Amino acid sequence: MAVIVLEDLKLVPGLRLLGLDLGEKTIGLALSDTGLSIATPMQTLKRGKFSADATQLDIIISAQGVGGLVVGLPLNMDGTDGPSAQSARAFGRNWAARSPLPVVMQDERLSTSAVTRTLLEADASRRRRDDVVDKMAAAYILQGALDRLRNLR
């Protein structure tokens, strides 16, 4: 399977989408409901080599009934690719080369900032913010894709 655009996403009814916020040290995960309406923060994985990360994701995908991935694409503010966006695209290509699950890249500009601002407004401690920001950013990214998907249908 290749990396596709959201408009071309075809999921088996009843399967979920898994959202990924790829960081240098961690991967934040979020899971959609089966109706593809709501994204829920799930967990944060410690990042390693691609093969180890993919093995961890395979376990989650199997256990949760996932039919596709939404990977955050951290574009520069002017829309160009920087090193982080290139890394996210490489992750998507590597995943597509090893799995039949579709991969969609979702613009994630300012997602971490928005989540951090929300946590600050909720008066979350620095430690609490550090514990949840990646999985909440993944939920923010996934919710954006779900909202776009709903508008397409």
What does the pLDDT look like over 109-141, one tens digit per residue?
A: 766 666 666 656 665 666 655 667 789 899 999
CA angle at 32 for the pair 143 and 24, rounded to the nearest 5°:
70
Q: Residue 17: pLDDT band by 50, 70, 90 thresholds? A: very high
- Residue 49 backbone phi and psi in degrees, to 5: -70, 155
Alpha helices of 27-82 — where are they, by DSSP H?
50-64
d(CA 32, CA 52): 23
| Domain residue extents for the chain | 3-152
Burial of 43 (0-12, 13-18, 19+ CB in 10 A): middle
What does the pLDDT look like over 77-100, one tens digit per residue?
A: 898 999 999 999 999 999 999 999
Architecture of domain 3-152: 2-Layer Sandwich (3.30)
Handedness of CA 6, 15, 66, 150 (dihedral sign): positive
pTM of the model: 0.88
